């Protein structure tokens, strides 16, 4: 799920402190403490000040649309391929031509026209109750549609973009009919109506409300690494499966960034986006949200190390946005609330 990093001479010069602008305005939907350390290191290396605006991804997209040509945004950072696609459709990114980025970021994790680049990956796993579920019973997402899981599955609403992208990836890999059949099977096996976020699904498994749940991996990693005893108790009661290891691999999504269409500090913006693909910046991504970096030789968190090497689906992330409308139709027809 990672690739080797080859830095261009320009990027090496960047890290030596040769700045071409005094500031860069970053709109970000990420909200992790380690991200501030990442911005501070960029400033120290380049002399370029980072002005940060944080909000939810969709809110930032709406803000940039409202600001239009007067938008001060130089870089937009958000999560999930479908949300990146919304930004592309809204005309919020301009192409970035960079040898360093093309060498560092795998082709399936970046926009083919250089509009955005993925900088960390998150996978959608299957959390199960220890002692109630034999993990050998679940080798794939498709196994969850078996009747033996009837009344035993917890999962978020169809309005959740993570679930939409999972179904969109199935459409890309297996076709619309298979994806809709999967959605029907999940609805038939739900233990309760969809409610809450991924952490709520994990807690429901630990509490015995259901036996399995679909969740992004880092929600469990947070509980494992928490300094709260109640979180650790939840984590101790469950474990996680990374499905489809014998086939297409586990569904993987990205945190991504691109240069804004009307960036007033374009050169600084390109340097900032290139910086995000350096090993140092990648380490902050890994530590901040227990996500896998997209380049090799980056130190992982102990939780990720313990989970080992995971095969991920190589489908292009742009497919999540391209298939989003069809994914919503499939989930709606299945009665997925």
State the Cα–Cα distance between residues 302 and 290, nearest whole angstrom. Answer: 9
Domains 9-121+252-305 and 123-250+317-333 share a fold: yes
Read off the pLDDT of each residue in 288-303 and give the average, rounded to a whole number.
89
Q: Rounded CA gap, 14 and 100, in Å?
A: 12
What residue ranges do the domains of the chain occupy?
9-121+252-305, 123-250+317-333
The CATH code belonging to domain 123-250+317-333 is 3.40.190.10
Backbone angles phi, psi at 122, to 5 degrees: -130, 140
Backbone angles phi, psi at 256, to 5 degrees: -140, 165
Residue 42 CA to residue 49 CA, distance in Å, equals 8
What was the pLDDT predicted at 4? 40
The structure tokens 């101790």 sit at 236
Residue 7's pLDDT is: 44
Helix (H/G/I), strand (E/B), else coil: 141: helix
Residue 16: is its pLDDT beyond 70? no
Helix-strand-coil split of the chain, %, nearest 5: 45, 20, 35
Q: How far is CA 292 from CA 114, 152, 255, 284, in A?
A: 21, 29, 10, 11
Position 9 scores a pLDDT of: 42
User: CB of 153 within 8 A of CB of 141?
Assistant: no
Is pLDDT of 17 > 70?
no
User: How many percent of the chain have pLDDT more than 70?
Assistant: 94
The least confident of 64-68, 178-182, 205-209, 287-291 is 287-291
The reported pLDDT for the residue numbered 11 is: 47
pLDDT tens per residue across span 218-249: 999 999 999 999 999 999 999 999 999 999 99
Q: At what angle do helices 176-188 and 324-333 cross, to 10 degrees?
A: 40
Where do the DSSP E strands lie in the chain?
23-28, 49-54, 75-79, 117-129, 153-154, 212-216, 238-241, 252-259, 292-293
Is the Cβ–Cβ distance between 334 and 187 less than 8 Å? yes
Cα gap 220→65, rounded to integer Å: 35
User: Among the residues of 175-226, which ranges form H helices?
Assistant: 176-188, 198-206, 217-225
Contact 5, 296 (CB under 8 A): yes
Tokens encoding 189? 């096996």
Stretch among 30-39, 178-187, 217-226, 230-239 having the lowest mean pLDDT: 30-39
Q: What is the CATH number of domain 9-121+252-305?
A: 3.40.190.10
Q: What is the mean pLDDT of the chain?
A: 93
User: What three-state secondary structure class fits 70?
Assistant: helix
Q: What is the mean pLDDT of residues 145-167?
A: 98
Q: What is the pLDDT of residue 262?
A: 98
Q: Is 308 left (phi over 0), alpha (psi -120 to 50) or beta?
A: left
Residue range 263-291: mean pLDDT, rounded: 93
pLDDT at residue 34, rounded to an integer:
76
Tokens 């009747």 sit on residue:
147
Identify the CA nearest to 211 among candidates 142, 306, 135: 135
- DSSP E strands in 31-164: the ranges are 49-54, 75-79, 117-129, 153-154
Tell whether the model's pLDDT for residue 195 goes beyond 80: yes
Band (pLDDT 50/70/90 cuts) for residue 297 is: confident
Q: What is d(CA 291, CA 124) in angstroms, rounded to the nearest whole number?
A: 12
Distance CA 242, CA 33 (A): 27
DSSP 280-293: HHHHHHHHHH-PEE
pLDDT in tens, 161-171: 999 999 999 99
Paired tokens of 285: 């991504």
DSSP state for residue 4 in the 8-state scheme: -
């Amino acid at each position: 799920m990672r690739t080797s990093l080859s830095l261009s001479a320009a990027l090496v010069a960047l890290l030596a402190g040769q700045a071409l602008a005094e500031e860069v305005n970053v709109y970000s939907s990420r909200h992790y403490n380690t991200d501030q350390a990442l911005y501070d290191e960029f400033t120290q290396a380049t002399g370029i000040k980072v002005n940060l605006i944080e909000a939810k991804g969709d809110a930032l997209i709406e803000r940039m649309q409202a600001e239009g040509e007067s938008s001060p945004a130089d870089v937009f950072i958000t999560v999930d391929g479908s949300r990146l696609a919304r930004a592309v459709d809204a005309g919020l990114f301009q192409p970035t031509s960079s040898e360093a980025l093309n060498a560092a970021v795998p082709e399936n994790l970046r926009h083919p026209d250089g509009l955005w680049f993925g900088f960390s990956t998150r996978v959608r796993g299957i959390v199960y109750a220890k002692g109630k579920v034999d993990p050998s019973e679940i080798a794939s997402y498709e196994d969850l549609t078996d009747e033996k899981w009837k009344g035993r599955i917890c999962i978020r609403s169809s309005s959740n973009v993570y679930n939409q992208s999972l179904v969109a990836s199935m459409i890309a890999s297996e076709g619309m009919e298979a994806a809709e059949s999967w959605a029907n099977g999940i609805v038939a096996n739900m233990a309760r109506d969809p409610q809450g976020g991924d952490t709520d699904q994990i807690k429901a498994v630990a509490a015995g409300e259901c036996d399995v749940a679909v969740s992004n991996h880092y929600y469990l990693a947070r509980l494992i690494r928490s300094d709260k005893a109640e979180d650790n108790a939840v984590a101790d009661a469950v474990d996680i499966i990374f499905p489809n290891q014998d086939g297409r691999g586990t569904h993987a999504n990205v945190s991504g960034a691109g240069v804004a269409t009307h960036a007033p500090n374009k050169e600084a913006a390109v340097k900032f986006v290139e910086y995000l693909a350096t090993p140092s910046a990648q380490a902050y991504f890994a530590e901040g949200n227990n996500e896998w970096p997209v380049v090799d030789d980056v130190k992982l968190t102990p939780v990720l190390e313990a989970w080992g090497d995971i095969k991920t689906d190589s489908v292009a992330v742009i497919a999540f946005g391209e298939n989003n409308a069809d994914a919503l139709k499939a989930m709606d027809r299945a009665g997925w609330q």
